[in-house]
Every structure is written in C-alpha cells, then in structure tokens.
Structure 1
Amino acid sequence: MTPQLRMTAITLDCPDPLALMAFYQAATGLPPHPKSDAAFAGLGGTDGELLLGFQRVAGYRPPRWPGQDSPQQLHICFTVTTDLPAAEAHLRSLGAGLPDHQPHGDRARVLTDPAGHPFCIVRA
C-alpha cells in the first residue's frame, strides 16, 4: 500500500529567520506562525495549512542564480493574479533582488529574496 503523504511545511535556511519571515509576510500576506522566534520562524501552518518556515543556519551561504557553485536547492514559484511588472516592483520595494539571468521572457520573473533564494513570479 502506498503511503498517503500531505506536504505540511517548506523550510528555507537563512541567517535571520525573523527578517526573512517579514519579507515573505509582506509579499504574501500570510500570517506569522505564533511560535516564531529568532531560531525558527514561519508563516501559516495553523489549521492544517502549509507552513513556510525559515531556520537560522550558522555560516549560511546564499545560492547564486543561475550558477550552481552554491546551489539553490529549492525554487519557489508564486502565481501573480495582478500585473506582473507591478508585482515585481512591489517585491523589489520589499527587498527582492532582480538577477540578470531571466530565462522566461515576459511570462515570469526570477527574483531573489533578501537571503538570496531565487523564486519566480509567474503570470496567472
């Protein structure tokens, strides 16, 4: 019998969990998890919803998009239900970076969060 699995959390390594949580909270509107602290912070995760977690890692090295000398290991995509350039501008005002390498043309943008993790915003 195949086990029934349900994803309950995605966790990103970072140097400052509360700062990265604040970035993603401003970007997504997800509520902070009530047990967030300086070692591990999260968004959502109550009532069975997916937790987006951020854990402190000593000596954290950010990934470098698109190179793999410090690999990304995880890539999150968000669907944008509004104007893609407006969403990009909003995320950049929150501290997201815009790498030079943009492989998706006008249908998506690769951005980096303040800890260097690449993520995509994609037209709905």
Structure 2
Amino acid sequence: MSTTHSADALKGSVTSYAIWADDGRRLAEFYAAALGSEVGEPYSDEHGNEVAFPVTVGDTMYIFWTSSSFTAPAWPQQDLPFHMDLAFPDAVAAEKRLLELGASKPDFQPGGDHWTVLLDPCGQPLCISQAQPS
C-alpha cells in the first residue's frame, strides 16, 4: 500500500544549527553579543554537565556544543565544514567590537572590499560585511 502526501506536508524547515567548539559557552556568548541576543538556558549531558548553549535570533536557534575533541580548522589550508556570514549596518564598527569580544583577524583576506574574515574565539572563520540597504 502506498502513501501519498502533498508536497507541502513534506517540506521541512530549519529550526536550529548546532555548532561544535572547544568551549560552547564562550562561543555562545560571543555570537549572542555579536547578534544582539542572549545565551539561553543550557542543556546538560547525561552527567549533568552543561554542554550546549542556545542563542536564538529571530526564529532560528544556534546551539553551541562543547566538544573535547574539537579542533579549529587550519584555514585557509583546510576546507571549512561551515562558516557564518554576518552583515552589519556598520561593518567597520562591528569588526572593532568583534575583536574586542575575542575574535582575531587573520592576515589572509580573500574578500577584498566585499567582506572581512575574522576567526571567532574558537578559531573558526566567519565573514562580516556591510548590510545592504533595504
């Protein structure tokens, strides 16, 4: 017996992104500050240790997991499993603020005038750019 579903019934939606780090709390605090949000109630592992830290922005949740086996990619030599692109009304001021929050700026900058690459506090690349006027 075959089951049929309408196309709309099978459309999924992304509700969260999970991002591993050597210190999930530190990374959650960094991105919460960068995105004007707060770190939510942490999730604990089976031993009661806080290991996952949610940050909600709009309808999307980012969950920053602490992983003892995490190592940051050796960018640009290694391909990236993911990276975030963040746009700001004032990209110059945002860069300064993100550096104050613990990001670093690598020498290699492939974006020219279009974007700037930073490394978040766990060493993962992120790109920042000027928000386009709406």
After TM superposition, the score normalised by the length of structure 2 is: 0.80
Structure 1 residue 81 displacement after superposition: 1.2
Structure 1 residue 122 displacement after superposition: 1.3
Q: Percent same amino acid among aligned pairs?
A: 31
Report whether the alignment pairs 1:114 with 2:124.
Answer: no
After TM superposition, the score normalised by the length of structure 1 is: 0.86
Match of 1:62, as an amino acid?
A
Partner residue, 1:57: 67
Structure 1 residue 72 displacement after superposition: 2.4
Match of 2:40, as an amino acid?
H
Q: CA RMSD in A?
A: 1.8
Partner residue, 1:81: 89
Report whether the alignment pairs 1:43 with 2:55.
Answer: yes
Q: Which runs of 5+ in 1 are unaligned?
A: none
Q: Aligned equivalents of 2:19 and 2:41: distance in 1?
A: 18
Partner residue, 2:80: 72
Give yes or no for contact 2:38–2:56 (8 Å, CA) kept in 1.
yes
Structure 1 residue 36 displacement after superposition: 4.5
Give yes or no for contact 1:65–1:99 (8 Å, CA) kept in 2.
no
Give yes or no for contact 2:29–2:38 (8 Å, CA) kept in 1.
no
SS in 2 for 1:12: strand
Partner residue, 1:123: 130
Give yes or no for contact 1:12–1:55 (8 Å, CA) kept in 2.
yes
Structure 1 residue 8 displacement after superposition: 0.8
The number of residue pairs the alignment matches comes to 119
Q: Aligned equivalents of 2:43 and 2:122: distance in 1?
A: 18
Largest Rg, 1 or 2: 2
